[in-house]
Structure 1
Amino acid sequence: MEGEHGMTVEENVKSINIEVKEICQKVGRDVSDIHIIAVTKYVSIETAQAALHTGLQHIGENRVDGALTKWEALQPQGIWHFIGTLQSRKAKDIVGKYEYLHSLERVSLAKELDKRMPSGRKMKCFVQVNVSGEESKSGIHPSEVEAFIETLVEYKGIEVIGLMTMAPFYDDPEQTRPIFRKLRELRDQIRQRKWSHAPCHELSMGMSNDYKVALEEGATFIRIGTALVGKE
């Protein structure tokens, strides 16, 4: 099963793992704190299976139809992440299947997730923040993040484990650094509140083009598609 540039998925995973280890050594981070999400939205079930066979555990999907098809084919393998925009009416489709949601940005969605979560269980959520201010990107404004998270305390089926952002695509990934740094600073600000419903330890940021910069700035979950599984 080939990924990017004719390399196999296994070769890509090996290469990325080496890079992650080198970056962690460079900036003094523990490699065990880093989780690689294989974003499989553009590839087949077979390629997603190949990623799991390499030892990767985390799989990311961003459309409900594809998300359900892959989950049904591959579970109980993998830890499943929904990383795209989720309509409130479709919350029921991922509850009980996907452990993580990377795109919480509306109280209405939190309400739907909470209503459908089994008693005693929580959806692990990242609040999506539009750090770059691009109109084409989802997420709430950085100035609204703290107040938004505070309102989520009443939804017992929701746990805000961190923040997520998408940086613009730049030819020079170094240009993403201020965006990732801003998200880290915002995460640290929320974490200082010590809210039980929002421990906010994690950072979901960095994709195929810019994950190295994201790691240097504190990413704990990196979402890698093309560079890992290719594009079919």
Structure 2
Amino acid sequence: MGSDVAERLASVRARVASACARAGRPVESVTLVAVSKLKPAALIREAYAAGQRDFGENYAQELRDKAVELADLEGLRWHAIGPLQTNKVKYVAKVASTFHALERLEVARELSKRREGLAPLPCYIEVNVGGEATKSGLEPSALPDFLAQVRELPGLRLVGLMSLPPPTDDEARARGYFQALRELGQRHALTELSMGTTHDFELAIEAGATLVRVGTAIFGERT
């Protein structure tokens, strides 16, 4: 029995387009990343067949394994979207087209070292806009120093900011978090914003997201 990945993907794309229209933005201004963590390669193949090219993985070793298993899919772009330990950098550095969760200088240095001879890796800096003690990400006040140090490293290209704000059903609160990230990006000349998930990607687009990370709405609940 086939899954309904193609149907779900079409529905999410329609919602992305509607959110772009409400915000007066071209639909091309938003990249949809299908978050495939803990999902089998077969489902990624279904999404690929339906035209999806950007996929997000949270775990470095799972990303490494899937990149090998799906190496025959031309033009597939892997986004490493989870926090990274220094000893796992090697799995991401060679296969990821983008890294979304840069927040530690030692990880930046290791990535830089392992990208030698390759095109610079586009990176988003993760910011903890909700000030949650349990969440990873830099405090906004730590951003200027971090930027200055990372910008000196070869092999990395800082393109924007990423955040995973506290989940909330209060739309005004959610918009506030996204707005805060956008303003922070503007202040530091970082125009790309990786924000918004299945729960709130339409609000994120209306607030200026250039990339949304959607898993459950495309692949279904994770077990």
Aligned length: 219
Q: Secondary structure at the match of 1:43?
A: coil
* 1:99–1:123 CA contact under 8 A, matched in 2: yes
Distance in 1 (alpha carbons) for counterparts of 2:173 and 2:151: 35
AA aligned opposite 1:224: V
Distance in 2 (alpha carbons) for counterparts of 1:146 and 1:180: 19
Question: Which residue pairs with 1:195 in the alignment?
Answer: none
* 1:173–1:209 CA contact under 8 A, matched in 2: no
Q: Does 1:201 align with 2:191?
A: yes
Cα deviation code 1:46-74 (max 9, x no counterpart): 11111111101101000112111211111
Q: Report the CA distance between 1:24 and its aligned residue.
A: 1.1
Question: Which residue pairs with 1:119 in the alignment?
Answer: 117
Q: Which consecutive unaligned segments of at least 5 residues does structure 2 have?
A: none
Distance in 2 (alpha carbons) for counterparts of 1:54 and 1:173: 31
AA aligned opposite 1:15: S
TM-score normalised to the size of structure 2?
Answer: 0.94
> Please, what is the CA RMSD of the aligned residues?
1.3
* 1:42–1:231 CA contact under 8 A, matched in 2: no
Q: Give the ranges of 4+ consecutive aligned residues of structure 1 lying more than 6 Å apart after TM superposition.
A: none
Q: Which consecutive unaligned segments of at least 5 residues does structure 1 have?
A: 3-7, 192-199
Distance in 2 (alpha carbons) for counterparts of 1:162 and 1:135: 23
Question: Which residue pairs with 2:131 in the alignment?
Answer: 133
TM-score normalised to the size of structure 1?
Answer: 0.90
Cα deviation code 1:180-200 (max 9, x no counterpart): 000000011111xxxxxxxx2
Q: Does 1:62 align with 2:52?
A: no
Q: Report the CA distance between 1:171 and its aligned residue.
A: 3.0
Identity %: 35
Question: Which residue pairs with 1:229 in the alignment?
Answer: 219
Distance in 2 (alpha carbons) for counterparts of 1:172 and 1:209: 12
Question: Which residue pairs with 2:142 in the alignment?
Answer: 144
* 1:208–1:223 CA contact under 8 A, matched in 2: yes
Q: Report the CA distance between 1:173 and its aligned residue.
A: 4.4
Q: Does 1:186 align with 2:184?
A: yes
Please, which moves more after superposition, 122-131 or 146-155?
146-155
